[in-house]
Chains A and B, each alone.
Chain A
Amino acid sequence: MSAGSHISSPIPARIVIAVSAWISAAVVLSIFLFLAWFCRPLLDTTVLSSLLSWDWRPFQGDFGILSMLTGSLLLASSSMLLAFPVGMGICCFVHGVGPPGPARLVLWTIKLMTSVPTVVYGFVAVFVLVPLLRDVFREGSGFSLLAAILGLAVLVLPTVVLMLHSQFLTIEPQVRLTAAALGMAPSQKLLHLVIPASGRGFLAAAILGLGRALGDTMIPLMLAGNAAQLPGSVFDSIRTMTAHIALVVATDSRSLAYLSLFACGLLLFMTTALINLGLRMLAGNRENGS
């Protein structure tokens, strides 16, 4: 095992990588410019104050999208709060806490989950999860924040698990023999050596997981009930910005309603970027601090 045997990549490969990096950056920038361009009418203060309000009643001329913003943030953060610890537990199970046979099976299942289309999760949830919630809690129709949280948690779980898994895979071989020779159990090695050294993996899992949860459309559209309101409990219906865009695009509507789509798009874009930056800064501070 020779550490750090880097083979310098040949020039063509480097050019290909550089070109694709620039193309991706250009695409992201142009999406942002495109959104900003279509959001120009927002600069008008009456339009802006109309959009930045809590009520969505298009037929009475209220086009507020704040409840959708809240819905998106609430749903994404709750489902991540659920998926993150569960994903971490699964990853620990796969890496030595569980017996090897079931561990392989679990990992295989998680990998399989990434290839299941979102709409399938939504479909199954509509026919299994929603009736179950309705019968168990006897509150409303079952199409609720809770249903969407559970559905979305399942959706982002593989992202969390696989990001952590790949980080564990780079750390674990470095300490495997030493930990074994000292008489540490696999679970001790994981808890005291691998996890503390996996900060980057946790950061990546959080950023990608939150991005996925915030951006997903199908699950909230199919499970959350889509009432544009502030939920009083997890059994209430909510509408996310993504579901809002899908709904309004699909139905013919008036101009300010259409404008609200671009506002939602811009907000989604900025929220994701802010979360990304914020978590990176948090991690940076922690690394400097310790």
Chain B
Amino acid sequence: MTAAVSIKNLRVTFNGAAVLEDITCKTRCGELTVIVGRSGSGKSTLLRAVNRLNECFPGCSTTGVVRLSLHDGQLAVYADGTCPERLRGRVGMVFQSPNVLPLSIERNMLLPQRLVRGITGRAAEEIMRRMLRRVGLFDEVCDRMDAQAATLSGGQQQRLCLARALALEPEVLLLDEPTASVDYQSARRIEDLLLSLKDELSLLVVSHSLPQTRRLADRVLLIREGRLTGQWHRGQANADAAFEKMLSTTF
């Protein structure tokens, strides 16, 4: 089986200070990988290394190799010929804090589809409705699609961002604490959605919750002060005991 995401000797620095160092790991297709670690340990930076979003911050420099396995073969993320925009169109990301565009709810869903994938009209609206239903937002917003997205509650915005990312039908999805600002019911619903997505795309999820990690993870990456200090896999020997042992010190 090929690796979905393979990272080798990844090192990320901001203004010369190392934030991630010597990260080497692999995730497999059809698995959901959860990244855990203390606040400030570098989880978000690791996610952003996969879609090259760290480059959008000043003073960032990245070395090492990141490879993704996509439908049409392997993609070396940091190779010279790789266009960051095309890469990010195929690697979706939902931020830690919701980041709706200053547009209406509908435009938030339709504009990226048109610009990034060239899908317009009925086809785009169809995808929009399907994805809003999938994240459980459709009933809440269907009668005010023209309202500014910023008028939604934090949890609704978070789900809108997830739907917007899904509408681009990414092959890899990066989720930075996707349930941070939603209630328990919605959180469970999103978790179920993520589990159902496992077969379609590769998922990397940052989580701050032990029960959530236990429910979701096929693989866990533990980050401590910028280094990968622990890995766990569902198929390993004594998986349950190893899980408790590794995560008892984290949460």
B51–A181 touching, CB < 8 Å: yes
Is A178 among interface residues, defined by CB-CB distance under 8 A?
yes
B53 to A181, Cβ gap below 8 A? yes
Contact indicator A192/B168 (Cβ below 8 Å):
no
Using C-beta atoms within 8 Å of the partner chain, give the interface range for chain A. Answer: 10 to 19
Cβ-defined partner of B116 (8 Å) among A178, A183, A193: A183
**Is B219 close to A, CB under 8 A?**
no
Interface residues of B in 102-120 (CB under 8 A from A): 102-103, 111-112, 115-116
- 1/0 per residue, CB under 8 A from A, across B80-112: the answer is 000011111110010100011111000000011
B-contacting 9-mer, from A121-129, A169-177, A230-238, A267-275: A169-177
Q: Mark A167-207, 1 if CB is under 8 A from B, else 0.
A: 00000001111111111110010001100010000000000
- A177-B53, A192-B111 known; A183 and B99 CB under 8 Å? no
- Cβ-defined contact, A183 with B86, below 8 A: yes
Judging by beta carbons under 8 Å apart, are A184 and B115 in contact?
yes
Question: How would you classify the secondary structure of chain B's contact residues: helix, strand, loop or mixed?
Answer: helix
| Contact between chains at A184 and B85 (CB < 8 Å) | yes
User: Are B102 and A197 in contact, CB atoms less than 8 angstroms apart?
Assistant: yes
Tell me which residues across on chain B come within 8 A of A182, comparing CB atoms: 88-89, 112, 115-116, 164-165, 168
In angstroms, Cα B112 to Cα A183, docked, is 8
Tell which of A174, A180, A185 touches B102, judged by Cβ atoms closer than 8 Å: A174
Hey, which chain B residues are within 8 Å of A185, CB to CB?
85
Q: Is the interface of A mostly helix, strand, loop or mixed?
A: helix
Q: Which of B51, B90, B101, B168 contacts A178 (CB 8 A)?
A: B101
Once A192-B111, A197-B102 are accepted as A-B contacts, the answer to whether A180 and B53 lie under 8 Å apart by CB is yes
Does B17 make an interface contact (CB < 8 A)? Answer: no
Contact with A along B52-94 (1 / 0, CB 8 A): 0100100000000000000000000000000011111110010
What CA separation (Å) do A178 and B100 show in the bound complex? 8
Across the interface, which residues of B come within 8 angstroms of A177, CB to CB? 53, 56, 95, 99
Q: How far is the CA of A258 from the CA of B102 in the complex (A)?
A: 55
What A residues does B85 contact at CB under 8 A?
Answer: 180, 183-185
A192 and B112 CA atoms in complex are apart in Å by 10
Smallest beta-carbon distance B196→chain A, Å: 23
B112 touches A184 (CB 8 A): yes
Name A171's closest neighbour in chain B (CB-CB).
B102
* CB neighbours of B164 from chain A (8 A): 182
Closest to A197 in B: B102
Contacts of A180 in B (CB 8 A): 53, 56, 84-85, 88
Asked if A193 and B101 make an inter-chain contact with CB atoms under 8 angstroms apart, the answer reads yes
Contacts of B115 in A (CB 8 A): 182, 184, 188, 192
Contacts of A197 in B (CB 8 A): 102
20 new A-B contacts at CB < 8 Å, known A180-B84, A183-B87, A192-B111 = A175-B101, A176-B56, A177-B53, A177-B56, A178-B100, A180-B53, A180-B88, A181-B53, A181-B88, A182-B115, A183-B85, A183-B88, A183-B112, A184-B112, A184-B115, A184-B116, A185-B85, A193-B101, A193-B103, A197-B102
The 10 tightest CB contacts between A and B, nearest first, are A183-B89, A183-B88, A178-B99, A183-B116, A182-B112, A181-B93, A188-B115, A180-B56, A185-B85, A183-B85
B residues lining the A interface (CB < 8 Å): 51, 53, 56, 84-90, 93, 95, 99-103, 111-112, 115-116, 164-165, 168
29 A-B pairs (CB sep. < 8 Å): A174-B102, A175-B101, A175-B102, A176-B56, A177-B53, A177-B56, A177-B99, A178-B95, A178-B100, A178-B101, A180-B56, A180-B84, A181-B51, A181-B95, A181-B99, A182-B89, A182-B115, A182-B116, A183-B86, A183-B87, A183-B90, A183-B116, A184-B112, A185-B85, A192-B111, A192-B115, A193-B101, A193-B103, A197-B102
